[in-house]
């Protein structure tokens, strides 16, 4: 049986030691399209050679930067074909600004396993501490596995929320490059869904799709640039649900509603009648 919730729920994930450098941070930011405003001092803070500022979404790639093999969905009680899996949601809470260079130690567990009938949702939580032993960030992510439900587990809560009933405070268009996924995959996500047309079509897509975490990072950067004056150190959390796909070369439309210490965001693809891409997006920040 691909999923055994009695084994999976609460199971510890393998601990991991990893490190990153300013060049890794630069590569990640370039993978998100940083540098498009190549003479803007605020933009160039993301690409400084010695001490680039670090977007909180870097936490999603820092542990896998050196990985060159496609990921496997293999955990205690969970064995799923990669072609059936899409990213469902991602949240990062940063306990302090991520340094431009550092070492991290991660520990984690499978915190939830939901049976959606025709599919399954598996949720992981990981905490990363720095070399000083103090917490750096906590990440919570979920995957949606098509055809893997029906194992008799609980269905789980609905996480959809309504957007504010008013016009957005900001409406920003962010282009992506045709080669965006091929560049972003150098950050450690070699899933062929994002690079191999035959694999993508076998998974039900007409062409390779952009990594959900690339879209996630691009929307995070757009919000930081728009609302926080490109000051990534003010961010304390960023979360989103992956509501649809984006194809490399398309545009991300980010509508933003500013609140007290929080930005609510809806990300869509305007080329496809504003088809949803990210939903339930929240960026929280300090004053």
User: What amino acid positions are annotated as catalytic residues?
Assistant: 189, 194
- Which residues have CB under 8 Å from 41's CB, separation 6+? none
Using alpha carbons only, what angle is made at residue 51 by residues 45 and 56, rounded to the nearest 5 degrees? 70
Q: How far apart are CA 193 and CA 196, in angstroms?
A: 6
Running DSSP on this structure, what letter comes out for residue 286?
-
Alpha helices in the chain (DSSP H): 5-8, 22-31, 41-44, 180-184, 197-202, 212-227
Using alpha carbons only, what angle is made at residue 196 by residues 86 and 193, rounded to the nearest 5 degrees? 5
**For residue 257, which of 173, 172, 176 has the smallest C-alpha distance?**
172
Neighbours of 84 (CB within 10 A): 18
- Which residues have CB under 8 Å from 173's CB, separation 6+? 251, 252, 253, 254, 270
């Amino acid at each position: 049986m691909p999923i055994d919730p009695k084994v999976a729920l609460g199971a510890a994930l393998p601990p991991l030691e990893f490190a990153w450098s300013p060049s890794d941070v630069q590569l990640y930011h370039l993978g998100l399209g940083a540098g498009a405003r190549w003479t803007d001092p605020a933009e160039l803070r993301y690409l400084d050679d010695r001490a680039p500022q670090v977007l909180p979404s870097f936490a999603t790639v820092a542990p896998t930067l050196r990985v060159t093999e496609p990921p496997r969905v293999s955990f205690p009680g969970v064995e799923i074909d990669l072609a059936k899996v899409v990213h469902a949601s991602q949240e990062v809470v940063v306990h302090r600004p991520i340094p431009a260079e550092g070492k991290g130690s991660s520990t984690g567990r499978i915190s939830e396993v939901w049976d959606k009938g025709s599919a399954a949702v598996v949720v992981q939580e990981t905490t990363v501490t720095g070399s000083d032993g103090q917490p750096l960030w906590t990440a919570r992510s979920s995957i949606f596995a098509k055809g893997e439900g029906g194992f008799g587990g609980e269905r789980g809560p609905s996480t959809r929320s309504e957007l504010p009933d008013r016009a957005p405070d900001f409406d920003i268009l962010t282009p992506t490059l045709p080669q965006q996924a091929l560049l972003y995959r150098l950050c450690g996500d070699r899933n062929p869904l994002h690079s191999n047309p035959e694999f993508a079509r076998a998974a039900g897509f007409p062409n390779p799709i952009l990594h959900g975490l690339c879209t996630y990072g691009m929307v995070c950067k757009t919000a930081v640039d728009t609302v926080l004056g490109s000051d990534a150190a003010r961010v304390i959390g960023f979360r989103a649900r992956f509501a649809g796909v984006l194809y490399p070369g398309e545009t991300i439309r980010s509508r933003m509603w500013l609140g007290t210490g929080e930005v609510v965001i809806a990300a869509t693809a305007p080329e496809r009648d504003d088809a949803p891409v990210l939903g339930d997006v929240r960026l929280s920040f300090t004053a």
